Structure 1
Amino acid sequence: MIGLVLAAGAGRRLRPYTDTLPKALVPVGPEGAEDSLTVLDLTLGNFAAIGLTEVAVVVGYRKEAVYERKAALEARYGITLTLIDNPKAEEWNNAYSLWCAREVIRQGAILANGDTVHPVSVERTLLAARGQGRRIILALDTVKKLADEEMKVVTAPGEGVRRITKLMDPAEAAGEYIGVTLIEAEAATALADALRTTYERDPQLYYEDGYQELIDRGFTIDAVPIGEVPWVEIDNQADLAKGREIACQY
């Protein structure tokens, strides 16, 4: 199994940082600190802590910044990094970005969005949930109060995830998908096909829409609660401030 990070996005709401950096390299350490940790650092640290030695990172916007840090990141975390170029990163949404990683997913992967600050307990929860025929397992926050922007999930007993979308009444949802997934190797072919169908239908769709395509085809996707843990998806300056508060707890 490998680690996989989607780090191709621009994150324009985080300017001026993202004038020169992809969102995954925005610093989340104390403001002004030299060599501050980034979201990518935290994610790679999580992967190393659970014993992963190979990580693939999908890059696009300002990808040269990731290439420049590749050797240093490999040395710091004791991993081998494979960088996968997404040529459509600034035009299309992340369903295509995940499809670009379809070959490495064949090894089995723990996927983490490049803008999610979260503790390693999330990865450990996913690993503990493996088995019993589960092929794709989503990390689900069942504690947070939901609003319109969250990626909401509806589950059903014995059936796993039934819906995953931002476009639903928050009251209907079991929780929020936090952007971390365990994907077993045997799910790779079906997932790649669903992702292709999704981005060909509309290049602006999310990879979670690819998950929904799989579900609609009869594929069971499972979800596991992560408990009450600090995490944040960093989309704007307020999220970044929260990310810094959380990162200093690790």
Structure 2
Amino acid sequence: MIGLVLAAGAGRRLRPYTDTLPKALVPVGPQDAPESLTVLDLTLGNFAEIGLTEAAVVVGYRKEAVYARQAALEARYGLKLTLIDNDKAEEWNNAYSLWCARDVIAQGVILANGDTVHPVSVERSLLAARGEGKRIILALDTVKKLADEEMKVVAEPGRGVRRITKLMDPAQATGEYIGVTLIEPEAAADLADALRTTFERDPDLYYEDGYQELVDRGCTVDVAPIGEVSWVEIDNHDDLAKGRAIACQY
């Protein structure tokens, strides 16, 4: 199993940082500190802490900034990094971005969005949930109070995910998918096909819509509650401030 980070997004709501950097490289360490940590740093650190030795990063917008840091990141975290180019990163949504990594997924991955600040306990929760034929396991926050913007999940005991979408009454949701998934090798082909169907239907769809496609086809997508954990998806400057406050705890 290897790590996988989706880091192709532009993150336009985080300008001026993202005028020159992809969202995954926006600093979340102490403000204005030299070589401040980024979401990519934190995620690769988590991968290393659970014993992974390889990771892949899907890059697109301002990808040259990731290429420039590749050797330093490999040295810092003891990981062999493979960079995967997404040629449509500024045109299409992330269903296509994850599909670009389909060959890597065939090795089994822990996938993390490049804008999610979270502790290594999330990866450990996913690893602890493996077995019993589970092929895809989503990290689920069942504690946080939900609103309209979150990626909400309805899950049922013994059946896993029934719905995953932002377009849902928060009161109906079991919890929020936080952007971290364990994908076993056996799920790779089915997931790749579902992702292709998803972005061919609408290039603006999310990879979570690919998960819904799998569920609609009768495949099981499981969840692992992460407990009461401080984490944030960084979409704007308010989120960035929260991310900095959380990152210093880890």
After superposition, the CA RMSD in angstroms is: 0.3
Give unpaired runs (5+ residues) of structure 1: none
Q: Which residue of 2 aligns with 1:113?
A: 113
Percent identity, please. Answer: 86
Report how many aligned residue pairs link the two structures: 250
Q: Which residue of 2 aligns with 1:248?
A: 248
The amino acid of 1:164's aligned partner reads: I
Q: Which residue of 2 aligns with 1:93?
A: 93
The amino acid of 2:4's aligned partner reads: L
Q: TM-score, normalised by structure 2?
A: 1.00
Q: What is the CA-CA distance between 1:157 and the residue it aligns to?
A: 1.8
Q: d(CA) in 1 for partners of 2:163 and 2:143?
A: 18
Q: Which residue of 2 aligns with 1:74?
A: 74
Q: What is the CA-CA distance between 1:156 and the residue it aligns to?
A: 1.2
Cα offsets for 1:27-82 (capped at 9, x unmatched): 00111100000000000000000000100000000000000000000000000000
Q: What is the CA-CA distance between 1:158 and the residue it aligns to?
A: 1.1
Which runs of structure 2 are paired with 1:33-182 in the superposition (5 Å)? 33-182=33-182
Q: What is the CA-CA distance between 1:240 and the residue it aligns to?
A: 0.1
Q: Which residue of 2 aligns with 1:213?
A: 213
Q: What is the CA-CA distance between 1:111 and the residue it aligns to?
A: 0.1
Q: What is the CA-CA distance between 1:219 and the residue it aligns to?
A: 0.2
- Give SS of 2:4's match: strand
Cα offsets for 1:115-170 (capped at 9, x unmatched): 00000000000000000010000000000000000000001121100000000000
Q: d(CA) in 2 for partners of 1:148 and 1:133?
A: 33
Q: What is the CA-CA distance between 1:91 and the residue it aligns to?
A: 0.1
Give unpaired runs (5+ residues) of structure 2: none
Which runs of structure 2 are paired with 1:1-20 in the superposition (5 Å)? 1-20=1-20
Q: What is the CA-CA distance between 1:17 and the residue it aligns to?
A: 0.2
The amino acid of 1:116's aligned partner reads: T
Q: d(CA) in 2 for partners of 1:157 and 1:37?
A: 38
- Where do 4+ consecutive residues of structure 1 move more than 2 Å? none
Q: What is the CA-CA distance between 1:10 and the residue it aligns to?
A: 0.1
